[in-house]
Each structure stands twice: as structure tokens, then as C-alpha cells.
Amino acid sequence: MTQQPPAKPPEKPGTAPEKGSNNGLWYILVIGVISVVVLSTFGGNGSDEEISLSEFREQLGSGELNQSNVHDLIFGPTRLSWQSKSKADIEKGAESERHYVSILGIGSEARLELQHLLDNPTGERDEDDDEAATDAIAWTGGQEPSQWSGLVAMLIFPVLIITLIFFMLRRLGGAGSAMSFGRSRGRLYAQDDVGVTFDDVAGIEEAVEELREVVEFLRTPQKYQSLGGRIPRGVLLVGPPGTGKTMLAKAVAGEADVPFFGLSGSDFVEMYVGVGAARVRDMFQQALQRSPAIIFIDELDALGKIRGSGAPGGHDEREQTLNALLVEMDGFGTDHSVIVMAATNRPETLDPALLRPGRFDRHVLVDRPDIKGREQILKVHTQKVKVGNGVDLQRLARLTPGFVGADLANLVNEAALLSARRGDKSVTMEAFEDGIERVMAGLEKTSRIIVEDVKRRVATHECGHALVAASLPNTDPVHKISIIPRGMGALGYMLQVPENERELMTQAELESRIAVLLGGIASEQIVYSETSTGAQNDLQRATDMARRMVTEFGMSPRLGRMFYSESASSPFLDGGAQIRESIHSEETIREIDLEVKRIVDEAYRCAYEVLTARRTILDLLSAELFEKETMSADQMHEIINQHCESPRIVPGTAAAMASPEEPTNDSDSQNESAAEGS
């Protein structure tokens, strides 16, 4: 029998259970402080000097204690106390000590005798004489504080410390705290407090439909069970960072009418043995008590990495946690009314037992959005921004290839901040275009002073990139050229925007892209007969692209259509390659290096020929860019069209005829000729 979802979401979801009020602790602390102050002010001073009763009698009889050194004597029920200085002397700055004599336990006759002794210390006057003795010591019968007050003052601080420790341990004993090792850190969310639904998710319609079906299955399971279908036990969201995996999970929490527990994979990992596994069991137990329910684990790769990667024979706490998760998802006694959702951008590191059907039945790809998806995402993010009338979201989507949802949200925010800084009443198209450059190239450093010679070289370098891109086929159109420093160490940049989305790239397109990358260093060689360190990033990217052509794409006629790569790269993370043990011979590695060098050298020769044939245009573009610091694509094409009939040039024909020397096919020879500026 299928359990019905709860009638209403739990109160205060998304937060840990509320602790009891701490007002009682504060009351105890305040009362304790007041008690200490009162006792220290009005109570007996712990530094008083005690004198025995017999010694006190002897000092009175001998006259050692007299009116000059006994002042403000108080005859209390348990002791006698007095000051050694008068109030007048104390007010003048004299130091006074207080003395006392304990009379606790003496009889009434002894007390009367002691009073007579104070009235007649030397005993020279008869008891029947009514006249007061001249040497009598004045005393009062005030209430002297008992010694219990000092005892209370001594005990108040330990009591306060014990009370404070007690309340701290109670607080540490809650869920998610350091003392609750075995309790889950998952938080329970409700629909109203999440504030995100499927309507707020755009650009990834296929993933939304997959998750919408899961939510509908929880709402109306009879629709699917009548045909023999069963609810998926797990849904894994995979994709690059920033594509909206966590946003989809929030939308599920906002749409589902069942309890939704959310936590991170790192919440299970601890240094103490058995803690992670205990938290997994506790998490599923909480979900089972409220089933049907959904558990969402973000960054699953922190928990579910492939087992056996640790040291042989050692104990890996993470593996024990993963084993507990595997058993809870599909093992003996598994409850099928709890669905597990997870998100990761490193699925290649997950354990195969975790990915198999029966645990994660569905793998939902949340990929980078295409131009239509980017436009829809921009529409969602611009709803909260006051956008100007001239803003074209379709053009912005075309100018942002490769952007994910997080990048587009950041773009809208940057554009709004730029417009506010400029004092505009709405976000303009210019602000969006500046925001694109800021996101892609970094912050503009207008205050940085560049030497004129360096500035001219940078202008030549960037115009070399742009002119090669405008001259060769199979290249992306140039959008903008700038020599204003941006980001970390970038003295200039050339921005290209593809006309269409590319799922595949041909060998000709890759070779043209390498030639564009080498256009900057080729232009420096042509104009200045030497190169600079500014081409370091261009050379790195060109070499990496050529190596992938040889080792991964099979684009080398010499090595054939084989896969030679020795690195396992992540499909969703750039720069996440892991070097594996080499499986190739030294001869094969040498052949790979020679092929990479051949591709790079041919691309450099192509760029060198294009720029040599169009040296006049290169100089005009460099001079214009040096003067204006920024050049648009229309301005660049206007200069090119004024000095040539065709904007593009076919490598090896017109460029080869215009070249001063015919380059040879030998890789070493053409590298030497390029270095000499031929």
C-alpha cells in the first residue's frame, strides 16, 4: 500500500532543529555576577586579620588595644570586628586594616563579661560606678555578616562554570554539531521556503522533463504502477560546473509534495572511524520515517569515488561510508519509497557499483546551453533587472558561446553594476557587451601606463591575430580588438565570436585556429625581426591543440588513426587531465613530437605568408589600433576592403607568390627561415 504524502510541509524547513531558549543561562549568569558584587561589597573581607579571644583580652588589659587603634567596633553574634584607623584618617589617605575576633559558641555570661571589658578595658573603675570610663571603647551591636557569605562567594564561580559547561554540551549535542558524530547533517526543506520551481529553470528542457516525471511519479504513483512501472531509485545529474544542477534540485524541492532532504557529499566524510557510515544510515532512517521522500546529495564525487585507490591493506573511512550508501540504496531491507538525487561534475571518478541501474537508474546530462537555451536563460535573469529598450537578448546569446547559466547570471549582474556606475536609468546594450568582455577577458586596467614601444608591439601582435582570422577560411569572425590591459598580465586581446554552435570541428578548422594563434608571433617577426614573451600563451594553446590532433583525433597521416593520449581528462572540467603511466615506446613518443612540430610549423608558415602578403594592411591596422586602443569588427573590415579585393586569401597560392622566399617542406628549414624573418 502506497503511503500518502504529508498534508503540509514541516514547519521551519531548511534549518536545524531549534534549540531551547538560552534566557535561563543568561539569568543565572546575571544573578551570579550580582551576588558576587553584593557579597564582595557588603560581606566580610577575606583579607581581615584574625585575633584569638585570649589575645584580645590581654591586649585590652595591657592597653595595646585602645581608643586610638580601635574604631567602628561591631559586636556581632559570631565575631568582633574593628578598623585600625578612624574614618577621618581613612578619608585623608591613611591605610586601615580590619581585625576580628571569633566569638562563635561562647555563652551569654562570657558575652556580658566581654562587653564590660570593652567599657572598662583597664579595670580601674568599679562596676557600680555609673560614670563612663575615659578609656572605654565605643562599640555597636550591628549584625556582622556570617562566614557563610564568604563560602557562597567562593562556590558561586565553580557553580557558574559547571552550569556553562552543561549548557554548552547541550548545544553541542544537537544535529550537525561536533558532538553528534553519528547524526546526519541533512536539512529538511519545504516547498514554500525554497522559492524555486521548474518555471525558474530555462535552457535545459530535457533535464527538466526527466525530473518532472520523477516528481509526478511521487505525486501519482498509480499512473505508472498500473502499467508495471516502478519508481526510479536514483537520479544522477552530471554536467559542467555552473550549468544548473543544484538549481534543478531546488526546483524539485519546490515542486515535490514530499519531504526533501538536502546535503553535500562532504557532510558524510569525517576523520573518525564509522562516523560517515553512521550518518548515511541516520539520513536514510530520517527519510524512511517521512517516506515517500527525496534525498539530494550535492558533489557526490566527495563521497562516491572509485574504491581501491587507497594504500593496499589500509583502512579508508571514505570506502566504508560508500559501502553504507550502496547498501542503503539497493540492498537487503531497502525501502523503495526513498529516492536519491545526486549531482557531480566528475562522473568518471565515481564507483561503478554506485552508477549501475538499481541505484542510479537515470543519468541526466545537464550540458552547456545552446544559443536558444542561452537566450531563455537571459530572459529569466533579466526579469529582475530594468533592461533598456535597445537590448537584444538574441544577439547577447550569440556573443556568449560556451557560457553556462552561472556565467550568464554573472553577466547580467555585471551589466547592471556597470549601468548603475555610469548613472544610467536602465541596463543598456553597451553595458552588456562590456560585461561580456569583463567576464571573458577580465577587468579593464585603464590606469596602467604602458610604454609606447610596448604598446606598438602589442598592437602589431593583436592585429596579426585578427588579420589572419579575417584572411583564412574556417575561422570564427573577429568581434573586437583591444590593447587595453585586462585581467592577469594580458596587455591586449582579440575577441572572436562563432557564427553557429559547433559540436564538431574538422581538421581544416583546427589548422586554421592554430594559424590564428600563431598570427601574433608571426606579425612580430615580420615587423620587428624578433619575437617577445607575449606569445607564451599562444604557443602553449597552439601546441596543446596540435598534440590533441595527433594523439586523440587521429589527424596525423604519419601515425595513422590511433589514440595515443596518455592522460585521462574529465569530460566536464577544463584542465582536469590526469597523467597515466606511459604505454608507448620512445620511438612512438618521438614520432608524436615530430608530428606536433610539423603541424605547428605549417600553421606558422601559413600565418607568416598571409601577413607578408598583406603587410600594408597589417601596418594600417596596427597604426589605427595604436591610436584608438580599441577597434570593432566593422572598422577592421573597412580597412581591409579598401586595400584588397577579397577579404579572404587561400594559403599557398597568392600568399606564396607574394612571399619573398619559397618556404621548403622540411620542418627544420622552415623554422630556421621564420626565425630569420624571411
Q: Is the pLDDT of residue 155 over 80?
A: no
Q: Which phi and psi angles does 479 have, rounded to 5°?
A: -100, -40
- Strand-pairing partners, residue 259, are none
Three-state DSSP at 73 gives: strand
Tell me the CA distances in angstroms from 632 to 480, 614, 635, one per residue in order.
5, 19, 5
Q: pLDDT value at position 545?
A: 96
The CA R_g of the chain, rounded to the nearest whole Å, is 43
Q: Is the pLDDT of residue 17 over 50?
A: no
Rounded-to-integer distance, Cα 587 and Cα 590, Å:
5
Q: Average the pLDDT over each of 295-304, 506-515, 657-666 and give the range with the smallest value.
A: 657-666
Q: pLDDT value at position 605?
A: 96
pLDDT digits (tens, 9 = 90+) for 518-532: 999 999 999 999 999
All residues at 6 or more sequence positions from 388 whose CB lies less than 8 Å from its CB, including other chains: 424, 426, 427, 428, 429
262 vs 588, higher pLDDT: 588
Find out whether 197 and 249 touch, Cβ atoms under 8 Å: no
Mean pLDDT of 179-203: 67
Q: pLDDT value at position 265?
A: 79
Q: pLDDT value at position 310?
A: 54
Is residue 437 flagged as an active site residue? no
Which own/partner pairs from 25-34 qualify as long-range (CB within 8 Å, at least 24 positions apart)? 25/163, 25/164, 25/167, 28/160, 28/163, 29/160, 29/164, 32/156, 32/157, 32/159, 32/160
Q: pLDDT value at position 60?
A: 76
- Strand-pairing partners, residue 264, are 298
Q: Is the pLDDT of residue 548 over 90?
A: yes
| Mean of the per-residue pLDDT values of the chain | 77
Rounded-to-integer distance, Cα 605 and Cα 603, Å:
5
425 vs 89, higher pLDDT: 425
Kindly report the pTM of this predicted structure.
0.66
* pLDDT > 70 fraction of the chain, expressed in percent and rounded: 70
Q: How confident is the model at residue 574 (pLDDT cuts 50, 70, 90)?
A: low
Q: Is the pLDDT of residue 50 over 80?
A: no
Q: Average the pLDDT over each of 491-495, 506-510, 539-543 and give the range with the smallest value.
A: 491-495
Q: Is the pLDDT of residue 553 over 50?
A: yes
Q: Average the pLDDT over each of 299-313, 317-331, 419-433, 584-598 and give the range with the smallest value.
A: 299-313
Q: Is the pLDDT of residue 457 over 90?
A: yes
Mean pLDDT of 497-509: 87
Lookup result for grid cell 560606678: 129
Q: pLDDT value at position 2?
A: 44
Q: Nearest-CA neighbor of 415 among 398, 439, 380, 392?
A: 439
Q: pLDDT value at position 251?
A: 86
Q: Average the pLDDT over each of 11-15, 252-256, 343-347 and give the range with the smallest value.
A: 11-15
Mean pLDDT of 654-672: 38
Handedness of CA 643, 644, 647, 648 (dihedral sign): negative
Q: Is the pLDDT of residue 37 over 70?
A: no
Q: How confident is the model at residue 9 (pLDDT cuts 50, 70, 90)?
A: very low
Q: pLDDT value at position 316?
A: 67
Q: pLDDT value at position 302?
A: 84
pLDDT digits (tens, 9 = 90+) for 281-337: 888 888 888 878 888 888 888 888 887 755 454 456 778 888 888 888 876 555 567
Catalytic residue among 317, 462, 511, 609: 462
Q: Which phi and psi angles does 188 have, rounded to 5°?
A: -95, 125
Rounded-to-integer distance, Cα 628 and Cα 640, Å:
17
Q: Average the pLDDT over each of 35-49, 141-155, 560-574, 651-665 and give the range with the smallest value.
A: 651-665
Residue 341: DSSP 8-state: E
Q: pLDDT value at position 342?
A: 92
* pLDDT > 90 fraction of the chain, expressed in percent and rounded: 27
Q: Nearest-CA neighbor of 655 among 471, 501, 447?
A: 471
- Strand-pairing partners, residue 79, are 102
pLDDT digits (tens, 9 = 90+) for 625-646: 999 999 999 999 999 988 876 6
Q: pLDDT value at position 573?
A: 64
β-pairing verdict for 234-238 and 338-344: parallel
Mean pLDDT of 276-284: 84
Three-state DSSP at 616 gives: helix
Find out whether 306 and 351 touch, Cβ atoms under 8 Å: yes
pLDDT digits (tens, 9 = 90+) for 133-151: 555 676 666 555 455 555 5
Mean pLDDT of 549-578: 79
Q: Which of 5-19, 38-52, 92-106, 598-612 has the highest mean pLDDT?
A: 598-612
Q: Nearest-CA neighbor of 10 among 186, 179, 198?
A: 186
Q: pLDDT value at position 439?
A: 84
All residues at 6 or more sequence positions from 75 whose CB lies less than 8 Å from its CB, including other chains: 114, 115, 118, 139, 140, 141, 142
Can you list the domains of the chain with their CATH numbers?
A: 30-121 (no CATH), 198-307+316-365 (3.40.50.300), 372-441 (1.10.8.60), 452-565+586-643 (1.20.58.760)
Q: How confident is the model at residue 671 (pLDDT cuts 50, 70, 90)?
A: very low
Q: pLDDT value at position 429?
A: 92
Q: What cell does 506 get?
A: 574538422
Rounded-to-integer distance, Cα 132 and Cα 118, Å:
11
pLDDT digits (tens, 9 = 90+) for 77-87: 777 777 777 67
Q: How buried is 490 (Cβ within 10 angstroms: 0-12 exposed, 13-18 middle, 19+ buried)?
A: middle
Q: How confident is the model at residue 458 (pLDDT cuts 50, 70, 90)?
A: very high
